[in-house]
Amino acid sequence: MRLGPLIPCELFGRVQISPVQRVIEIDSASNTRRPVPVTASGDVIISADALATIQSQMVIVIACMDEDVQVIEGVLSGIPHDCLVIIVSNSSRSPVDNYGAEVALLEEFCAVTQRAAMIIHQKDPEAAEAFRQAGMPELVSSSGTIHPGKGEAMIIGMALAALTKRKYIGYVDADNFVPGSVNEYCRVFAAGLYAAKSPRAMVRISWNSKPKVRDGRLCFDKRGRSSIVVNEWFNKLLNEYTDDPNSELIVTGNAGEHAMTLELGLKLRLAGGFAIEPYELLNILEQYGKSTSKPSPAATMLPAKAGVPMTAQATPVGPPVPSLARSDSGIVQVLQIETRNPHFHDSSKGEGHVRRMQMQGLNVLYHSPLTPKALRAELAKFMEDQEDLLSGERPPCAQIYPPVGNLDFGVFFDLLTSNSTSFRQFLPESMPMEASLISRL
């Protein structure tokens, strides 16, 4: 894969947020034909072997709820073979057992393709008890099951991914109609994580377009309805910390497709519901956004605005670096990469679904300790004008969970494997029948 240049980026304390890179070639020349991984123009080339190395250490989590099994099958078909698939389902069990259909689909898919995968149901009470006893009772509702919500499903996926001892985790939405776009997303995950120099890195997808049908014509919108709003307010927040009042650095505030090193993911606090994607970025800034050490020579400190911490901005890059070798400088890297494939997905969930996504993203921005008082008031006024809030009403607080890395994974493994009735593992024939994809950490 060939990515465009990684241009100078903003540095917020120890957080390096890169402007959007573009996919230049989905499949580029091998290293044997082009041995320099960074070209004179700054393009980054990642060989097929390098992509495969990352994919063999990557877990792809699919959170689903009552999607058509044929659509889910298409998503599975797009995930590279060496990635380990985890499906976390909140689908109905009665009167129609949609979860049973998903289990049967995954079992058949793994048998045909000879690959490994796991599946679990979000309302599994035994899984909830495993989380409760392992140190995350906040995840469990009063009914004894895990809270519903996309964020909660992604937390379950991350806990299972940690038990696999793989190094990377990626998330792909279950309602994607184009297997080719899923495949590109996973390749971009691997390319970005390979190119990242820090062991604490995140790759967020900026899809090429999100097509909609209007007046019988297919329109290739560049931004989603919720993304436009959340990105705008995210950038208003970041602009409070820079001297550029018109920066539009963040374009992936609601990125459902994203990946990260588990070293980073297990340290993050995560939000419930649709707030999880914007809150990941916020929590990275909250945890790492204040520099605790002297900046590198490549960064120049900027004077902070009144009442906000100091920030740094990288100086223009010099000659291309000769390698992509990692170095633990304490930096957290956030890469935003624009894909080539359009993002066709289920858009029949209605305006209410879009407004809920937007509202939950804005709620976490409002309540973040990084948000200055004046900006918080401006955001509340916007939400009132949108009729999401009554006059003078405060936005509700999102459910924020402790880091998954705080779990007692030994307790979690023992209870899950002993008691869960919905958790299933599917293994290729090359693995012994008694083998397991997860182990007690």
Q: Say if residues 301 and 386 touch (Cβ distance below 8 Å).
A: no
State phi, psi for 63 to the nearest 5 degrees: -95, 125
Residue 435 lies in a domain: no
Asked if residue 95 belongs to a domain, the reply is yes
What's the CATH code of the domain at 121?
3.90.550.10
| Average pLDDT over the chain, rounded to an integer | 86
- The better pLDDT of the pair 307, 405 is held by 405
Structural domain tally of the chain? 1
Question: In the chain, what percentage of residues exceed pLDDT 70?
Answer: 83
pLDDT at 313: 39
Q: Which tens digit of pLDDT belongs to each residue from 106-127?
A: 999 999 999 999 999 999 999 9
* Residue 159 pLDDT greater than 80, yes or no: yes
For the entire predicted model, the pTM comes to 0.89
Mean pLDDT, to the nearest integer, of 80-96?
97
- Residue of higher predicted confidence among 350 and 372: 372
Is 441 inside any structural domain? no
Question: Is 17 domain-assigned?
Answer: yes
Residue 440 domain-assigned (yes or no)? no
Q: How far is CA 281 from the centre of its chain?
A: 10
pLDDT, residue 80, reads 98
Question: Does residue 433 sit within a domain?
Answer: no
Confidence of residue 41 (pLDDT cuts 50, 70, 90): confident
Residue 370 falls inside a structural domain:
yes
| Domain assignment of residue 104, yes or no | yes
Q: What residues make up the domain containing 66?
A: 2-324+331-426
Q: Token digits for 378?
A: 């401006």
Q: What is the pLDDT of residues 268-326, one digit of tens each?
A: 999 999 999 999 999 999 999 975 443 333 332 223 343 334 343 333 333 333 345 55
Please, which pLDDT band fits residue 25 given cuts at 50, 70 and 90?
very high
